Amino acid sequence: MRKKYLNILKEKCTRGSFEKLINLKNPKVEEFVASYTQHCNPDSVFIRSDSKDDAEYIRNRAIQLGEEKKLRISGHTVHFDGLHDQARDKAKTCYLLPEGETIGSDIKSIERGKGLREIHKILKSSMKGRQMYVCFFCLGPIKSPFSILAIQLTDSSYVAHSEHILIRDGYKQFKNMQNQEEFFRFVHSAGVLENNVSKDIDKRRIYIDLDENIVYTVNTQYAGNTIGLKKLAMRLAIKKASVEGWLTEHMFTMGVHGPNKRVTYFSGSFPSACGKTSTCMLEGETVVGDDIAYLRKIDGKIRAVNVERGIFGIIKDVNSKGDPSIYQALITPGEVIFSNVLVTDENQPYWIGKDGEVPIKGINYSGQWHIDKTDDSNVEITPSHKNARYTIRLSTLKNVDSHFNNPDGVEIKGIIYGGRDSDTSVPVEQSFDWVHGILTKGATIESETTSATLGEEGVRKFNLMANLDFLSIPLGKYIMNNVKFAEGVKSPPVIFSVNYFLKDKQGNYISGMKDKHVWLKWMELRINGDAGAIKTPTGYVPVYEDLKKLFKRVLHKDYSFEDYVNEFTLRVPENLAKIERIVKIYKTKVPDAPDILFKALTEQEKRLKDVQAKHGEYISPEKFL
């Protein structure tokens, strides 16, 4: 059989590529590459090692083939996805599961045999006329106990280029681990192209085979569907972590700088549009990672690494005032891919919220664009798509943490769960302990829809640990994995909740945009025993005097006691209503929801009703002193 595979590879590999593959001395890799070479039938196969020449070859191919176009600033390119290929396709993203097996009522799946037959039929000769790129990657730092090796097969030079920016190179890792049989695998084809974008969107598929640790994507170019090493790999890693006793989380990792050059590391989980990036990129702090974290128990401590080395971020509203580090990277020469932004007549990228005037015309994902342009449904086409993106290396940011590539990761001392609600949760609150934090903060995250979301504004969306879209194990099991994770840890991370979106009765935000920096600094002090707190039925809230000092030191502004009371008043009716909503969701949609969750919520409900009887429905924090 190996001889058959080698013959296939010899016939298709470009000059030097066959030798690079054989030098890995890994029959499992040879079998994987050869079998999909035969099935997808590319005209040729290019094996990418970790060399600069190989990376340059793919970058140049992206330009030559028109998948990317050069912009005015050196190293900057732009990529356009199709008009109807601008986001993750949740409807066509399915797990391939054995017949009768499910993960959860809202998690899409298809019978494994049926799914494999369908996806292989669509992939058959899908790469004919193009070159297949074989790329090797390492999820997590190199030579680390966190590392997971992976291979991406793709016929898109844009996808291969993007992953080179986002994920650490892994060819040498494969070479050093000969006969390594366990690795994540990804097969992607953009399918038939028309004007350089995927044509057969109706046949777009993203299928995830957990049994074989392989993801198939076809008839799409949008990075969220095609860059296997991001959220698709995350789904595989959640399953792997569950089996092996660690965690894969949709979390940033950052260093918060305290007194006397102290650095305290946090991980944080927020749904989209809830302040995740703006938190981990706060000026004066340092970022380890902005999106995905692996967490392991090592020597009695919980440590975390950034799975990636780059950022695939939403570019809307990134500007010099709100995101100075990122903005500087986006206007400085270097390797940057912009996607679905507007390109002006001066060959400069423009996006919604960028510094400067809105151009009157240019080219974007819809073709030639001008102000007031509409689509076939008479809906305005904005200069850049609301989900337009940038792809950069984290190392280009001035605020990257010095332990960004530490193979041992960083010790996590705080975990933050953020949501978006206008009337319930206080801006910052500490849980009573690890279990209370996981169950009443992480497992109860809600995010209200905004005016930028299709549909009704203000609708609360449940999003367990901000990870609901990516879970590959039953929800109840996932909750218990988190609950049990701190067992054996002498001093588990302190868990907090934050809410930057509390409003007054007139609908105005109570907190300022930059106030989150004060909440973060308070959390750092609290972990290290340098700040007090007031115990309430839902957790510990800050003492006014501590916040008053922090507002003056961090933001150089006064913080009144009236503001404090407005922000940290316990809103009993709204908290009781939230518990009722969450319990209903778990009882109706999560058959394996653990009893410990209902117990924690029932106990919190009782505490709230007890203080309601004593102090009323809206209780100032001073009442708890």
When mean pLDDT is compared across 73-77, 104-108, 311-315, the lowest value belongs to 104-108
Does pLDDT of 454 surpass 50?
no
Place of tokens 């007890």: 610
Domains in the chain: boundaries: 2-244, 248-308+404-624, 312-396
Q: What is the DSSP letter of 145?
A: T
Find out whether 289 and 403 touch, Cβ atoms under 8 Å: no
DSSP string for 553-591: III-----HHHHHHHH-EEHHHHHHHHHHHHHHHHHH-T
The C-alpha angle 404, 483, 229, rounded to 5 degrees, equals 40
Q: What is the pLDDT, as a whole number, of residue 452?
A: 44
Mean pLDDT value across residues 480-503 = 97
Average pLDDT for residues 86-109, to the nearest whole number?
90
List 13, 94, 274, 280, catalytic entry: 274
Whole-Å CA distances, 45 to 49, 134, 153? 13, 7, 10
Chain segment 372-405, per-residue pLDDT in tens: 999 888 989 999 999 999 999 999 999 999 999 9
Can you say whether the dihedral through the CA atoms of 252, 259, 501, 442 is positive or negative? positive
Tell me what percent of the residues of the chain surpass a pLDDT of 70: 99
pTM of the model: 0.95
> Do 256 and 247 meet the contact criterion of CB atoms below 8 Å apart?
no
**Quick check: 459 pLDDT over 50?**
yes
pLDDT for 455 equals 53
pLDDT of residue 181: 80
> Which pLDDT score is estimated for 449?
75
Q: What confidence score (pLDDT) does residue 593 get? A: 97
**CATH architecture, domain defined by 312-396:** Beta Complex (2.170)
Check if the beta carbon of residue 311 is closer than 8 Å to that of residue 325: no
pLDDT in tens, 40-63: 999 999 999 999 999 999 999 999
Question: Cα dist. 551→247, 281, 546, 556, 612 in Å?
Answer: 35, 19, 9, 6, 31
pLDDT value of position 177: 83
Instruction: Indicate the Cα dihedral angle 140, 144, 146, 148, nearest 10°.
Output: 60
2-244: CATH homologous superfamily? Phosphoenolpyruvate Carboxykinase, domain 1 (3.40.449.10)
pLDDT at 456: 61
Residue 274 annotated to the active site: yes
Write the class of the CATH domain 248-308+404-624: alpha beta
Q: At what angle do helices 475-485 and 595-615 cross, to 10 degrees?
A: 80
Judge whether 140 and 288 are in contact, CB under 8 Å. no
d(CA 112, CA 102): 11
Torsion angle of C-alpha atoms 471, 474, 480, 485, degrees rounded to 10? -40
